[in-house]
Amino acid sequence: MVESAVGKRAGLDTPRAVPGTTAGGYLPALDGLRAVSILLVVVAHLDITQLVPGGFGVTLFFFISGYLITGQLLKSLRTRGRIDFAAFYLRRALRLLPAGLAYIVVAGAGFQLLGGRISPAGWLAALFYTANYCEIWQGYVSNLAGIRHPFNILWSLAVEEHFYVLWPAALAWLEPARDGGRRAILLVLGVCLAVLAWRFYLMDVCTSIGAGGASFCGPRTLIAGNDFNRFYMATDTRLDSIGWGALMALLEGRVVLVGRWRAVGGVALLILSFALPGQWGRHVLRGTVQGVALLGLVPWLSQPGSWPNRLLCLPPALLLGRLSYSLYLWHWAALMAADAIAPSSDAAWRMIAVSLSLSLACASYWGIERPMLRVRRRFGSHAV
């Protein structure tokens, strides 16, 4: 990517050209990493959670989102000298809302046709991106025995949406052109460390005898229900997973991110993250260790030349990565349908779940996402 005249005059550091990118800055390997993340999530939900780290799949997706969104905002600052908030939020709405609304309406209506009940608060939380806190404080609990609630899956979309609301304004306020992004880097790093400290505090308070009812712990206490959704789903405890990706975008061009030993360190930290013992290791430290690991690993994987990069750039991986949003949504509806159709046969249940997941995701992608992509391009989107 060539440094623009605006960027030079503003004094804003411009990332070095990244080999393997298109003219718009597209990194094919990131779609491959999206494929990895969605595979981890879907396979884990096929009742083999103990063998496949589905939670890491979500963490990886958060990291990629933080990197890409921050990169887009920085590019706008370098080329235009400002962030076009109206265009940014319109592109985000066109990217997420059509498929998301289709899922909420169809899956919610299907659940109710089966006899399920969804409270007005549950509908509102799903529609207005507060499903994560609704799940923590109220719980999307299905009244149908053996059939999951269709809105359980929406929590991660709420976390991302909160990031989209907060980060563009914060970045514009920090005016990274003044100091080359140093204040923005310090802010993101500070937020990541503050979230870690907040998780430490929550674990200490919410697991203390008699303190589980504290308002910020949620009514489903950690003592009574052994329920750690407060750590896993809340924006205030997961924002650092997106923040580490944003930090990668801010550091590009300022420090050397790509390196074999950095990648080796990232792999070592990633392995360590899964070996951290106990509740403190899993629910407090793991997110931070994985964020730092990805900071060393993702830049290396994004560069062409290595065999992992070639695997990530294979056409099936790229296609699956582009299907990831629709597949994330609709695989949960497919699981719900499999719950209703084949509750007593694991083989039939998995066959229905997999085939219906792919069918619904493809229908959503080509019927909703692709047409919306053409509209997004009218408002400045450079998505492939």
pLDDT in tens, 231-244: 999 999 999 999 99
What tokens does 156 get?
């991660």
**Per-residue b/e over 235-269, b at no fewer than 16 CB within 10 Å?**
bbbbbbbbbbbbbbbbbbbeeebbeeebbebbeeb
Alpha helices in the chain (DSSP H): 5-10, 28-45, 54-80, 85-113, 120-127, 131-137, 155-174, 176-179, 182-206, 222-225, 229-232, 235-251, 260-275, 278-280, 286-302, 307-312, 315-322, 324-341, 346-364, 370-377
Owner of token pair 């450079």: 382
Please check the confidence at residue 12 and state whether its pLDDT lies above 50: no
- Angle CA 159–149–347, to nearest 5: 110
Mean pLDDT of 150-157: 96
Please check the confidence at residue 367 and state whether its pLDDT lies above 60: yes
Measured CA distances, 171 to 12, 163, 248, 282, 354 (Å): 13, 12, 15, 31, 41
What tokens does 149 get?
């609630």
Per domain, the residue ranges of the chain are 28-42+52-376
How high is the pLDDT of residue 78? 85
How high is the pLDDT of residue 1? 29
Mean pLDDT of 14-37: 68
CB 112 within 8 A of CB 86: no
Mean residue pLDDT across the chain:
87
Single out the residue of 227, 256, 191, 336 nearest to residue 16, CA to CA: 256
Judged by DSSP in three states, 357 sits in: helix
How high is the pLDDT of residue 14? 41
Mean pLDDT of 142-163: 95
Fill in the DSSP letter of residue 4: P
Mean pLDDT of 317-335: 96
Compute the residue count for the chain.
384
Instruction: Say what the pTM is.
Output: 0.90
CB 262 within 8 A of CB 248: no
Most distant pair of Cα atoms in the chain: their distance? 67
Measured CA distances, 265 to 138, 161, 260, 268, 289 (Å): 40, 31, 9, 5, 11
pLDDT in tens, 265-311: 999 999 999 999 988 999 999 999 999 999 999 999 988 888 889 99
Owner of token pair 């019927």: 367
Residue 94 dihedral angles phi and psi, to the nearest 5°:
-70, -25
pLDDT band at 224 (very low <50, low <70, confident <90, very high): very low
Single out the residue of 65, 218, 229 nearest to residue 132, CA to CA: 229
Please check the confidence at residue 6 and state whether its pLDDT lies above 50: no
pLDDT in tens, 91-118: 999 999 999 999 999 999 999 999 999 9
Roughly what angle, to the nearest 10 degrees, separates helices 324-341 and 28-45? 10
How many other β-carbons are positioned within 10 Å of the β-carbon of residue 368?
18
Roughly what angle, to the nearest 10 degrees, separates helices 28-45 and 286-302? 140
pLDDT in tens, 187-215: 999 999 999 999 999 888 877 755 545 67
